[in-house]
Amino acid sequence: MSEEVLQQAAPGLVPGSGTARAAKPTRLSPSFISWLQAGPMMLVFLAFFLIPLVFVVIVSFWDYNEYQLLPAFSGRGYTDTFEGCIAQLPDLCTIGKTYVKTLKLCFMVWAITLFIGFWVAYFLAFHVKSKTWQMGLSLLCTIPFWTSNVIRMIAWIPLLGRNGLVNSGLVKTGLVNHPVEWLLFSEFSVVLALVHLFTFFMVVPIFNSMIRIDKSLIEAAYDAGATGFQTLVNVIIPLAKPGIVIGSIFVITIVMGDFITIGVMGGQQIAAAGKIIETRVNALQFPAAAANAVILLVITFLIITMMSRIVDIKKEL
Amino acid sequence: MKEGRPRSFYVLAIFFAAYVLFLYGPMIAIYVLSFQGPQGGLTFPMNGVSTFWIAKLFKGTGIVDLGAAFRRSLLLGIIVMIVTVVLSVAAGMAFRRKFKAQSILFYSAIASLIVPSIITSLGISLEFRIIDDLIKAHWNENFETSMGLLTSGLGAHLTWTLPFGLLIMFAIFNRFDPRLEEAARDLGATPWQTFRHVVLPIILPSVIGIGLFGFTLSWDELARSSQAIGAVNTLPLDLQGLTTTVTNPDIYALGTVISAVSFTVIALALGTIAMLNKRQAAKGSDAGQGLV
């Protein structure tokens, strides 16, 4: 503090002293400058993320009719969602089945993207030696991420459709008599498209943690007589864990909330957590949509908490 | 260490090549298919070669008003890009020293990235509906809506682009040498001069990267726009609408046009980054220039 006062009193006497950033005295305190710099972004998140989340929770307890929101406390959004769940026991009700299906899709996509993402990142980090090649090949994997998801989804139609390349190939080689129907607008095509779209979110964080691994650790393991597999399990995987967890969190949250890929690639036939919200919004049942959003948020949050428990992400970071 | 390349190199190289083929193969298929003749269908083999379907899009006689949606998406993308660059660079600078609410901003950004888009989108739409109701009740009964491309739509896109911008800024300042600023300060530069003439030129290539992210993420954004954008559609929303009724290759043509814009922006940005890096390498050092 006294340094700042001195600086203001006699500019130039204490150049670059202490934590004060300014060489010349300014009337702005460092903390005020920080607010000025970070404030606008904070305001955007406040106005378009935090307050909207609060509204989702509030509106989930409002009442509704066919035309409008009724700002009065009601549990209808939730009771409508869980309608018949107790009566149907031990069978799963609609919402229960939908969540089981969503979790199943989520698990499959997670397992596949993790497998592909891990080996792609491993190849880039450990086998590609030249920095230029490393950058070029990473860029090659990144570019599709920058183009429209819908285009990347419909790109499967000419391949998987009834008269698509795969089917005509199968029919021509005589493997099947009729075109295979389950290739498109099915769970298979949903998983395929999700893997196609989101493996990127696994590759990048895993690559980032692998690239930071000290190569001498691997040489040390090698010198100590470890096999390649032992090095992988005992050295590389533990050190790449933060990246694996971050990538997994991205993929899982995206798939849990997805309604576009599941809609387009499932031929609008597959129920999923995100699609319930979309359907409710389209029917203008906002409190019910909000109630489902809260449920989805809680479940997603639980999964993330569980994952960060398993690997103790705080210790890793 | 071992000499030569281990067997695992070749296995993984093939795996990597297969992954790249998986990434690009289907996309290339639709780019090719969009250049079919007027009788073309949705699948191979191609039925003639022409630019019929792409021309049809630009004539505006197709299923969507491509021109209007194109202009809206472009306008939104450019504004999102500018706002993302300015706010990310400013916030990135703030994070270089401790300040109150630092962790709140950091966790907001991370949460904004991982909370499912449909929830953010629904929340923004509810927020604007409530604002509309308030305006109707208290000020103007005939008020239509405050939702729109540059209000709720812009906000929705920023919740997606700003976290990426901030994370890139962290990466930049992780490898930034603060001694360069100290040197500038010792030479009597004001904080603004230090930023303008020392910091900015060094971080500029990465800042262009943030702009690239901002534009292309907004240009292709769908999930957050879906509920939050109001009455008008952006290109990706029109495209999604087409997927349920599609029978003609015009959807591929639209896809090809959207991708062409994305790839042009990526190429322009990467070219600029390469140019700036070259310039920095050429002019950034005065080694061997003599004393005067």
Q: What DSSP line would sit under B154-191, residue for residue? A: HHHHHHHHHHHHHHHHHHHHHT--THHHHHHHHTT--H
Q: Is it the case that residue B41 has pLDDT exceeding 90? A: no
Alpha carbon distance B225, B219 (integer Å): 11
Helix (H, G, I), strand (E, B) or coil at B43: coil
- CATH at B211: 1.10.3720.10
Q: Do A277 and B216 make contact, defined as CB atoms within 8 angstroms?
A: no
Search chain B and give the residue with CA nearest A248: B114
DSSP code at position B105: H
Q: Is the peptide bond before B45 cis (omega within 30 degrees of 0)?
A: yes
Whether residue B106 is contained in a domain is answered as yes
Does residue B139 register a pLDDT over 50? Answer: yes
Question: Domain boundaries in chain A?
Answer: 32-79, 91-315
Buried b (16+ CB within 10 A) or exposed e, A99-131: bebbbebbebbbebbbebbbbbbbbbbbbbeee
CA distance readout (Å), A284 to A78, B71, B152, B180: 15, 29, 18, 57
Structural domain that includes position B208: 66-237+256-281
Q: Which residues pair with A63 in a beta bridge?
A: A70
| Integer Cα distance of A73 and B260 in angstroms | 50
Q: Is the per-residue pLDDT at B56 higher than 90?
A: no
For residue B230, tell me if it sits in a domain: yes
CB contact under 8 A, A127 and B9: yes
Asked whether residue B7 is domain-assigned, the answer is no
Do the chains contact at A154 and B243, CB–CB below 8 Å?
A: yes
Binary contact (B190, A297; C-beta < 8 A): no
| B115 near A CB under 8 A | yes
In a domain, B45, yes or no: no
Strand partners, B36: B49
How far apart are the C-alpha atoms of A13 and A23, rounded to whole Å? 10
How many Cβ contacts (< 8 angstroms) between chains A and B? 281
ipTM of the complex: 0.89
Residue A159, chain B, CB below 8 Å: the answer is: yes
Q: How far is CA A291 from CA A268, B89, B193, B209, in A?
A: 22, 37, 52, 38
pLDDT at residue number A157: 83
Structure tokens at B13: 């190289």
Does a structural domain hold residue B23?
no
Q: Give the tens place of pLDDT for each residue, A174-210.
A: 788 888 888 888 899 999 999 999 999 999 999 989 9
The answer as to whether B113 is a domain residue is yes
Can you give the pLDDT at residue B39? 73
Identify the CATH number of the domain defined by range A91-315: 1.10.3720.10
| Interface contact A127-B12, CB threshold 8 A | yes
CB contact under 8 A, A293 and B119: yes
pLDDT for position B61: 56
Structural domains counted in chain B: 1
Q: Do A281 and B227 touch (CB under 8 A)?
A: yes
Residue-wise burial string across B183-193, b where 16 or more C-beta atoms lie within 10 A, e elsewhere = ebbeeebebee
Q: According to the model, what pLDDT value does residue B277 have?
A: 86
The pTM (predicted TM-score) of the whole model is 0.86
pLDDT in tens, B11-26: 999 999 999 999 998 8
Handedness of CA B146, B148, B153, B155 (dihedral sign): negative
Query: If DSSP codes are grouped into helix, strand and coil, which group holds residue A64?
Result: strand
Residues in B 15-74 with any Cβ partner in A closer than 8 A? 15-16, 19-20, 22-27, 29-30, 33, 41-44
Q: What is the pLDDT of residues B191-209, one digit of tens each?
A: 889 999 999 998 998 999 9
Question: Do A44 and B162 count as a contact with CB atoms less than 8 A apart?
Answer: yes
DSSP letter for each residue of A25-54: --SS-HHHHHHHHHHHHHHHHIIIIIHHHH
SS3 content of chain B, % helix, strand, coil (to 5): 70, 0, 30
Q: Are residues A7 and A17 in contact, defined by beta-carbon separation less than 8 angstroms?
A: yes
Q: Report the C-alpha gap between B134 and A82 in whole angstroms.
A: 31
Check pLDDT > 80 for residue B270.
yes
Cβ burial A197-207 (10 Å sphere, 16+ → b, else e): bbbbbbbbbbb
What whole-number distance in Å separates Cα of residue A275 and Cα of residue A282? 10
Centre a 10 Å sphere on the Cβ of residue B111 and count the other Cβ atoms it contains: 17
Q: How far is it, in rounded angstroms, from Cα A139 to Cα B20? A: 11
Q: What is the pLDDT of residue B120?
A: 94
- Residuewise pLDDT in 10s, chain A (317 residues): 344 444 444 444 444 444 444 444 556 788 888 888 999 999 999 999 999 999 999 999 988 776 667 777 778 888 888 877 777 777 778 888 899 999 999 999 999 999 999 999 999 999 988 888 988 898 888 888 888 888 888 888 888 887 788 888 888 887 888 888 888 888 999 999 999 999 999 999 999 899 988 888 988 998 888 888 888 898 999 899 889 998 999 999 999 999 999 988 988 888 899 999 998 888 888 899 999 999 999 999 998 888 877 665 555 44
Query: Which positions 234-273 of B are in contact with A (Cβ < 8 Å)?
Result: 235-236, 239-240, 243-244, 246, 251-252, 255, 258-259, 262-263, 266, 270
Distance from CA of B123 to the nearest CA of A (A): 4
Q: What is the DSSP string of A174-240?
A: TS-SS--STTSSSHHHHHHHHHHHHTHHHHHHHHHHHHTS-HHHHHHHHHTT--HHHHIIIIIHHHH
pLDDT value of residue B290: 63
- d(CA B219, CA A149) in angstroms, rounded, equals 11
pLDDT digits (tens, 9 = 90+) for B83-117: 999 999 999 999 988 888 888 999 999 999 989 99
DSSP run (H or E) holding A73: strand A69-73
Residue pair A259/A275 in contact (Cβ under 8 Å)? The answer is yes
Q: Looking at residue B140, what is its pLDDT?
A: 79
Query: What does the block give as tokens for B153?
Result: 């739509």
CB B43 within 8 A of CB A161: yes
For A287, the 3-state DSSP assignment is: helix
Q: What is the mean pLDDT of residues B52-80?
A: 80
